[in-house]
């Protein structure tokens, strides 16, 4: 290739970037929409409203939260995926919406978790905590497994519903241990937790901001956290490996929130959104909010987030298939 041809190609490449650069310089020039694919009032909504308020301050434009719940977050995520790729519509993605739903819904899922989104930044990571009814003679995961094997048909666990992360946390325990355990789906974690406290269920998994007050009041007994390391919010609770079940964290313990937009957002605009999201997540105000909800801040680059989704789709897909979980 001659020098003139190379120069022409370089010039064409540079010119192709100009619209995106110009868009980034003018972005944002109007309010942004932030879609939360869950109902108002829960941990995803509370976190998102705090982040939206912080983003509005740094971007100089309102960031309007819109709750679009339903179908395990897939309705809201479909809305994000089908929005104009101009950076003005973003949304909250979760382990459920992007790592679990592809296997749970299969061909019925109306979006591709990798191809249909710009993965702007991870936001936070969190864990589940395994708890049992305190009246049972079970004080470790090893004892729970032994109890289930000695009492087939008598050990059950609750969750927020088929395919919820706390359902699959239980299925992973069941798969790795080989112990007979029956899943009982509920319409939300709260009624399941009520039945654990009442002794109608043997155990369940739930997030720290819900479960820690119940642990510390003695209404349930904590056995383990799902993460590879102990939680800074409950350092007295062992990991699954420490409590008697090796391999749990490696098989699929990652739980997270992240911020996505539709695929095709110009890279300069995506980079600007990433920078502002990282800045917001590292702010003292969001730091306090994150601690209040017992999360861990996890701001990331765009490529890192994509790789996490890709890896977790493989991990959680295996768990979904092994459990036989499905949504009718």
pLDDT (tens digit, 9 = 90+) per residue, 49-60? Answer: 999 999 999 999
Cis omega (within 30 of 0) for bond into 220: no
Residue 112 lies in a domain: yes
**Residue 110 above 90 pLDDT?**
yes
Segment 133-149 shows an average pLDDT of 96
107: alpha, beta or left, given left = phi > 0 and alpha = psi -120 to 50? alpha
- pLDDT, position 92: 98
Q: How far apart are CA 131 and CA 66, in angstroms?
A: 34
Q: Which of 198, 225, 252 represents a domain boundary (last residue)?
A: 252
Number of domains in the chain: 2
Residues 219 and 244 in one domain: yes
Residue 24 lies in a domain: no
Residues 145 and 239 in one domain: yes
Q: Which of 227, 252, 277 represents a domain boundary (last residue)?
A: 252
Residue 236 lies in a domain: yes
- pLDDT, position 257: 97
**CA dihedral sign, ordered 250, 252, 254, 258:** positive
**Domain limits for position 80:** 31-126+254-323
Residues 117 and 150 in one domain: no
Q: Is the Cβ–Cβ distance between 179 and 145 less than 8 Å?
A: yes
Q: How far apart are CA 219 and CA 20, in angstroms?
A: 56
Residues 241 and 262 in one domain: no
Residues 235 and 147 in one domain: yes
Residues 147 and 243 in one domain: yes
Residue 315 lies in a domain: yes
**Residue 12 above 70 pLDDT?**
no
Q: Which of 252, 268, 296 represents a domain boundary (last residue)?
A: 252
- pLDDT, position 130: 97
Residues 273 and 184 in one domain: no
pTM exceeds 0.75 for this model: yes
- pLDDT, position 292: 94
Residues 71 and 105 in one domain: yes
What rounded mean pLDDT belongs to the chain? 92
**Residue 120 above 90 pLDDT?**
yes
CA 195, 201, 202: angle at the middle one, nearest 5? 135
Q: Which two tokens stand for residue 175?
A: 């798969």
CA 216, 217, 219: angle at the middle one, nearest 5? 110
Residues 152 and 89 in one domain: no
Q: Is the Cβ–Cβ distance between 5 and 27 less than 8 Å?
A: no
Residue 17 lies in a domain: no
CATH of residue 85's domain is: 3.40.190.150
CATH of residue 158's domain is: 3.40.190.10
């Amino acid at each position: 290739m001659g020098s003139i041809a190379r120069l022409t190609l370089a010039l064409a490449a540079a010119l192709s970037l100009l619209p995106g650069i110009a868009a980034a310089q003018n972005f944002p020039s109007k309010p942004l929409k932030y879609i939360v694919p869950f109902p108002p009032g829960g941990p995803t909504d509370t976190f998102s409203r705090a982040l939206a308020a912080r983003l509005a301050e740094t971007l100089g434009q309102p960031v309007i939260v819109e709750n679009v719940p339903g179908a395990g977050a897939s309705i809201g995520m479909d809305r994000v995926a089908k929005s104009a790729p101009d950076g003005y519509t973003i949304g909250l993605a979760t382990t459920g919406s992007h790592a679990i739903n592809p296997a749970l819904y299969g061909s019925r899922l109306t979006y591709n978790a990798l191809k249909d989104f710009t993965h702007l930044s991870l936001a936070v990571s969190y864990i589940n905590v395994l708890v049992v009814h305190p009246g049972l003679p079970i004080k470790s995961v090893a004892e729970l497994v032994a109890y289930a094997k000695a009492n087939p048909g008598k050990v059950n666990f609750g969750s927020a519903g088929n395919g919820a992360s706390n359902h699959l946390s239980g299925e992973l325990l069941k798969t790795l241990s080989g112990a007979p355990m029956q899943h009982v789906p509920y319409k939300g974690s709260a009624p399941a937790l009520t039945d654990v406290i009442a002794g109608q269920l043997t155990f369940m998994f739930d997030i720290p901001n819900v479960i820690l007050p119940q642990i510390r009041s003695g209404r349930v007994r904590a056995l383990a956290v799902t993460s590879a390391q102990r939680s800074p919010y409950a350092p007295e609770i062992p990991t699954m490996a420490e409590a008697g079940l090796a391999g749990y964290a490696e098989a699929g313990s990652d739980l997270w929130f992240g911020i996505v937009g539709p695929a095709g957002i110009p890279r300069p605009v995506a980079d600007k959104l990433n920078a502002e999201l990282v800045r917001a997540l590292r702010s003292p105000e969001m730091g306090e909010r994150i601690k209040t909800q017992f999360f861990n801040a996890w701001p990331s680059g765009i490529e890192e987030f994509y790789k996490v989704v890709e890896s977790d789709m493989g991990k959680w897909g295996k768990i979904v298939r092994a459990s036989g979980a499905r949504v009718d």
